[in-house]
């Protein structure tokens, strides 16, 4: 039995846990304000809010309901557009109306729900910036975005007045969202029942974490397949630091990484990196372990952790097996993993004070797009010489690549244009891109070269010269 709150009502559900929340909302509960668009998490028309209690706090995230299995919502609060309606338009809806930010109206519920998620967000520093970022997963095909941007800025200005007040209390007191939000935390505590995700564990066909890619690939199959869910397992989303080793739980999402003091402290450019990766609703759902096990040749965080020389721990009936991430990928979508094994944790050593790290990516649009090519690098430099190096690349082979020869070449070298030129030549011997919708093989080879140059430009901008640029 899966128990959760849908808007104001407590739900007990005993059907198949693989059903997408979008279909439950529309076809089981006739809440048709949540729209069906792409069913791939791209357009944001089906955006809902998901509230859950973490470490004693009620936290809300915007998520695309087309990719959200009902098996992942036990003891959570699901909010649709109907759940934030009041007798009059709320300030978010009013701002959209006042600024003529809607025409056909199909995308409007998604925008409104994303902005509602922003209003419930904690620890905001730059209200305007974060408000605009909150709708990066929503697409409008009618208006252009300036009117939507004006409405968003209005909401940012309203929320900036809350000071230190709890967001849930503030939105209720200011009639931004209905008053019932204030009572949700106690209601969730009352129904919270840590179960094993309400799904079969006997020979599951699929193991589901965030589901953001699996539900794109297997949308028609998952509502009927034998599934195991791991998202509700206790402490599986934790990020721990033990000495110099960081350990990340299997259901840690991209947003969990973004909000981790450990990650932000030791990767000062992490905000730049994560804004290249998907959109806010997808970052709120997608798990790091899922990104790795999906084995996409262009997995962004796979490239990220390959450059950190990470280890992964696979678990099967309490038996642990540690594998180097760089040895995990055996071929296209082939892994050093038994079907019953679950990727439990990812661990890596923190960069030292002498280390430098960078991640680069190019895709066809800024937000919510898979990479054409990505790459990451970590080097440790002592006395102006590289003493260790790890270099990765995605989109240029059948698997995410750890560039062994290229990394070994840099050991003992100083950072000079000639060194980088030779590095690029070696890289070209280690990759085998193919032509596809994201570019020709020649384009990807040239793109990787430019992205690798980008690593060094970030660290040593003085290297930029006419000779360097022409390489």
pLDDT the model gives residue 471: 57
Calculate Rg over the CA atoms of the chain.
Answer: 23
CA atoms within 13 A on the CB side of 345: 17
Q: What is the pLDDT of residues 109-148, one digit of tens each?
A: 999 999 999 999 998 999 999 999 999 999 998 878 999 9
Q: What is the pLDDT of residues 362-402, one digit of tens each?
A: 987 766 678 899 999 999 999 999 999 999 999 999 999 99
Cβ atoms of 292 and 299 within 8 Å: the answer is yes
> The tokens of 415 are what?
């950072």
**pTM (two decimals):** 0.92
pLDDT the model gives residue 196: 42
* Cα 429 to the center of its chain, rounded Å: 32
pLDDT the model gives residue 340: 87
- Whole-angstrom CA distances from 142 to 47, 146, 154 are 18, 12, 21
- Whole-angstrom CA distances from 92 to 111, 147, 151, 184, 346 are 9, 13, 8, 21, 40
pLDDT the model gives residue 325: 98
> The tokens of 207 are what?
């193991």
pLDDT the model gives residue 103: 87
State the sign of the Cα–Cα–Cα–Cα dihedral 89, 93, 99, 102.
Answer: negative
Question: What is the rounded CA–CA span in Å between residue 244 and residue 380?
Answer: 15
pLDDT the model gives residue 437: 85
Q: What is the pLDDT of residues 290-312, one digit of tens each?
A: 999 999 999 999 999 999 999 99
Low-confidence ranges of the chain (pLDDT < 50): 194-200
Question: What is the rounded CA–CA span in Å between residue 160 and residue 442?
Answer: 49
Closest Cα partner for 145 from 114, 191, 101, 205? 101
DSSP alpha helices (H): ranges in 32-182?
91-98, 108-119, 127-134, 146-159, 167-173
pLDDT the model gives residue 195: 46
Question: H or E element: which one contains 322?
Answer: strand 319-324
Question: What is the rounded CA–CA span in Å between residue 403 and residue 246?
Answer: 23
């Amino acid at each position: 039995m899966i128990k959760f709150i849908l808007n104001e009502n407590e739900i007990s559900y005993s059907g198949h846990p693989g059903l997408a929340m979008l279909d439950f909302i529309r076809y089981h509960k006739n809440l048709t304000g949540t729209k069906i668009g792409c069913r791939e998490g791209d357009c944001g028309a089906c955006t809902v809010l998901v509230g859950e209690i973490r470490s004693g706090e009620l936290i809300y995230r915007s998520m695309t309901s087309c990719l959200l299995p009902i098996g992942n919502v036990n003891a959570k609060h699901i909010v649709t557009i109907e759940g934030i309606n009041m007798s009059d338009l709320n300030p978010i809806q009013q701002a959209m109306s006042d600024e003529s930010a809607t025409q056909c109206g199909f995308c409007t519920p998604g925008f409104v729900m994303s902005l509602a998620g922003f209003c419930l967000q904690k620890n905001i520093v730059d209200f305007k910036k974060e408000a605009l970022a909150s709708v990066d997963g929503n697409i409008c095909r009618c208006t252009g975005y300036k009117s939507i941007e004006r409405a968003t800025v209005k909401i940012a200005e309203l929320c900036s007045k809350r000071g230190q007040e709890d967001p849930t209390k503030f939105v209720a007191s200011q009639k931004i969202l209905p008053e019932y939000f204030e009572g949700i935390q106690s209601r969730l505590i009352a129904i919270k029942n840590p179960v094993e995700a309400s799904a079969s564990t006997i020979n599951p066909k699929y193991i589901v974490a965030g589901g953001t890619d699996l539900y794109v690939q297997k949308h028609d199959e998952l509502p009927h397949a034998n599934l195991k869910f791991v998202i509700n397992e206790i402490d599986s989303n934790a990020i721990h630091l033990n000495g110099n080793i960081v350990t990340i739980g299997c259901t840690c999402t991209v947003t969990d990484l973004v909000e981790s003091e450990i990650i932000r402290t030791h990767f000062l450019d992490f905000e730049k990196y994560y804004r290249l990766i998907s959109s806010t609703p997808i970052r709120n759902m997608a798990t790091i372990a899922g990104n790795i096990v999906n084995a996409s040749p262009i997995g962004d965080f796979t490239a990220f952790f390959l450059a950190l020389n990470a280890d992964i721990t696979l678990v099967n009936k309490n038996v642990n097996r540690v594998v180097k991430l760089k040895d995990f990928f055996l071929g296209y979508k082939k892994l050093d993993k038994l079907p019953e094994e679950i990727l439990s944790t990812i661990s890596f050593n923190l960069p030292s004070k002498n280390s430098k790290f960078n991640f680069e990516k190019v895709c066809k649009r800024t937000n919510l797009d898979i990479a054409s090519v990505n790459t990451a690098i970590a080097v440790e430099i002592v006395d102006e010489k590289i003493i260790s190096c790890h270099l990765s690349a995605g989109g240029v082979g059948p698997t995410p690549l750890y560039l062994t020869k290229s990394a070994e070449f840099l050991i003992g070298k100083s950072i000079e244009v000639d060194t980088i030129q030779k590095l690029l030549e070696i890289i070209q011997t280690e990759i085998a891109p193919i032509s596809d919708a994201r570019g020709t093989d020649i384009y990807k080879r040239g793109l990787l070269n430019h992205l690798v140059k980008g690593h060094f430009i970030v660290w040593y901008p003085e290297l930029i010269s006419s000779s360097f640029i022409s390489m």
